Structure formats: C-alpha cells, structure tokens
Amino acid sequence: MFAKTILRFVLILSGSLGLHAQNGIFSSPEWHLKTAFNQGVILEHRSTIGHLVHGYPSMYEVCLIKPTTGIKQWHHENNFPDLGISLNVIDFKNPRELGYCFSVAPFAEIPLNKKIKPSRLVMRLCWGLAYLNKKFDAETNHKNIAIGSHFNSYVQFKWFWQFKLNPSLRFEPGFSFTHTSNAKMKTPNLGLNVGCINLALHFSASPVSKRQTEYLQPDSLNQARTSKNEIFVWNSIGLNDREPSLDKKLITNTFSFGYYRNKRNTHKFGIGCDVFYDENMIEDLKHDGLPSNTMADILRGGPKLCYAYNLGHISFPVELGYYLRNPYGGDGSFFHRIGVRYLHPKGIMGLVNLRTHWAVAYAFEFGVGYRWGLGKGQYK
C-alpha cells in the first residue's frame, strides 16, 4: 500500500513538471547529462540511531536534464531553471543493517543569481521514490529502527556552484541534505538524514539552444495573481502506523488556514494556523491514561510561519509551527512541513505534504484547498 502511495506521488509530481515541460521545453533539442559523487555523514537526529553509523556514506548520481527555453513567463522569473530526473545510489557503509538506497526523483535546479557569472549559485529541489534493500525485521534486522519499509520517500535539497569549463562542460561543487523515510506509514520510522559534499560534471549532450529574451506565453496563474495578498484554506488526510506488531493504519487529518503575502511571483511569506486530528495521538493518550473522550481532548494545533517558492503553477511550501494546544507532549512542541502544491488559476489547489517533528517524519498529507486574492484580483 505504501509503495503504491509513493509511486502515485512521484507520477503526480513528474506529471506536474510535465505540464510546464510541454510549454516550450520539449520543443528544444537540447539535453544535458550530469554525473556526481557525494561524500557525507549520517546526521544523528536521535541518539538511538548512533549504533547504525559505521562510516561515511557515499552517493553516486546520474541525471538527465532538460533546460527551460524562455518561452514561458516562469522561465524568466526563475532565471531559466533546469528540470530533470536523477538516479541515485547511496552506500550507507553499513551493509548488514542499512544496506543501500536506490532512488529515482524529479527535480528542479534554480539559479539564485539572475546575472550569469563565472561562478553561479544554484538550488536544487528534489522529491521522489527510494528503495532500501535493508529494513527493520524483528528476527533478522531488529537493530534497524530507522527504516521500517523497503519503499520510502526521497527528499533532497542541494546548493552548488556552476563553473563553466568550456561551452559543453561545467564543474559543479556543492553540498546537499538528503532525507529518506516512509512518513510513519510503517514503523519503526526514525528515517535517515545524510549531509554531503558533492562534486559533479555537467555535460551538454546536444547543441545549446538560444534562450527567448522575452516570454511568448504569459502564465495564466500570474495573470490572475493581481493581488499581493492571499488567503489559503485546505484540508488533508493521511495514514500512519503505530508499532510493527499492530497491523492497522491510523488516520491523521489536518485543517489549515493561512495568509500569504506575495513578495513577487516566485516568493511568498505568510502566517497561519493548523488543527490536527491524529488517531495515533489518541492511542498515546489512552496508553497514558489521559482524557480522550471529547473533541476538546483529542485535537491539537497552533500557529505557523510559512514560506513558499513558486515555479509557475507548482509551489514548494516550507512551514514551521508550534503546538499551542498539545494534549500529548511525546511528539514535542513544534511541527514542520514541506510539500508540493499545484495551483490552478481559478484558485483550486491540490497538495502533497510531508509533516515532521524536527527530523522525524510523522505523516504524508494528501489534500485539496482553495485560495482567495484579497481586494483587487480575486479569483472568479
């Protein structure tokens, strides 16, 4: 069930990027190839996983890349980003308990400088599917409390510099953060976080296409976004697990309300409030003998700070919240969220989020919502 859920998400994300790609990207013959080597450390976000760290992980990566052409407005707003798909292998240096991670993930690489310089800083946003050949097993691998399933989500943030060696070759040193977990769909699920230094060579496998100096197709989303102030309301549902011996999925439900201020089409900042119904927390309350009979007993929630980076219709939110009301303190006082949203010009949105408590994933959130422009430029 979990593998199918993750696969659907990767297909949705790849399809969403493809909505952009069909507008002026695949019409270009230009393709790029990148190979990278990464050396890093497992970040021990919990002291209980220290026994799993036996060395310094190595990551090997091959990427197929399609540059944007400038035909669309969001190409220009994001400094002509590259879209692609990466194939990765991670050797955790613990073959008995952690084994290897094999991942496939779509990504966007966004230059952070509008002006093309000899050394240009670029940010990668990447989310996909990972297969780990070693997982927790009560009889054969009981020490692996980090990974409870073979199929997991794969999230990577990378920052690197582009150094042009010749018209067809770039050298790209940088650093990255990679997270692998199943969002508590199957316990145990502390997850694995790896920080790396990376070295890459970026090849142009075909003639470099000329970029459009002016976009030919204004984005319908940006035509509708004439107000800088927006209200977001969304609701999501997800499933998570409690313990390996309990063959039962528990529901988690989130209702969210927020206000955003568009700094420009690519950036927005906001504040909001989330209310959570978590069956897993209800089991915790019962286990500790705490009240769990009324909605007031079992709901938790609180305010949050919000940021989102936009690539046309696709938005990548990052949120930090505080449980102002929290009947059960075992998950800590703070909640965090990263995700992907598809924003329709009419205001409807679909979303997939990963909710965490610091570096420990708690649940995937699948939902729908709506947004309103305040004042001038309201969606019709």
Mean pLDDT of 74-83: 92
Higher pLDDT, 80 or 205: 80
Instruction: Indicate whether 6 pLDDT > 80.
Output: no
Residue 107 has pLDDT above 50, yes or no: yes
What domains can you pick out in the chain, each with its CATH number? Answer: 2-204 (2.40.160.20), 220-373 (2.40.160)
Residue 92 has a pLDDT of 98
- Residues in Cβ contact with 87 at an 8 Å cutoff, skipping those fewer than 6 apart: 61, 62, 63, 103, 104
Select from 223, 216, 264, 266 the least CA-distant residue to 69.
216
d(CA 319, CA 210): 38
Q: What is the mean pLDDT of the chain?
A: 88
HEC letters along 259-282: EEEEEECCEEEEEEEEEEEEHHHH
Say which residue, 15 or 284, is predicted with more confidence: 284
Does residue 188 have a pLDDT over 80? yes
CB 323 within 8 A of CB 334: yes
Q: Give CA 297 to chain center in angstroms.
A: 32
What's the pLDDT at 95? 97
As given in the structure block, the two tokens for residue 241 are: 């697990």
| Continuous segment of H or E residues that includes residue 22 | none
pLDDT of 159 > 70? The answer is yes
pLDDT at 261: 94
Q: Does the pLDDT at position 213 exceed 50?
A: yes
Report the amino acid identity of residue 26: F
Confidence of residue 220 (pLDDT cuts 50, 70, 90): low
Q: Are 206 and 67 in contact (CB under 8 A)?
A: no
Report the range of poorest mean pLDDT among 1-15, 139-153, 247-261. Answer: 1-15
Rounded to the nearest 10°, the torsion over CA 69, 15, 318, 5 is -160
| Mean pLDDT in residue range 351-372 | 94
Radius of gyration of the chain (CA): 21
Q: Write the pLDDT tens digit of every residue in 244-273.
A: 666 678 999 999 999 999 988 899 999 999
Q: What are phi and psi of 323, to 5 degrees?
A: -75, 95
Whether pLDDT at 177 is above 80: yes
Residue 281 pLDDT: 93
pTM: 0.86
Amino acid 30: pLDDT:
84
- DSSP E strands in the chain: the ranges are 32-42, 58-67, 82-91, 100-111, 119-132, 151-166, 169-181, 192-204, 229-240, 250-264, 267-278, 299-311, 314-322, 334-343, 348-357, 360-373
Indicate whether 363 pLDDT > 60: yes
Angstrom distances, CA of residue 152 to CA of 128, 177, 182, 196: 9, 16, 4, 20
The predicted structure's pLDDT at residue 245: 60
- Strands of 92-224 (E only): list them: 100-111, 119-132, 151-166, 169-181, 192-204
Residue 21 confidence (pLDDT):
44
Task: Check pLDDT > 70 for residue 219.
Answer: no
For 21-44, how does the pLDDT look when each residue is reduced to its tens digit (9 = 90+)? 444 555 567 889 999 999 999 999
How far apart CA 13 and CA 310 sit, in angstroms, is 14
Per residue in 58-70, pLDDT tens? 999 999 999 998 8
Which token pair is 276? Answer: 């959570």
DSSP at 137: B
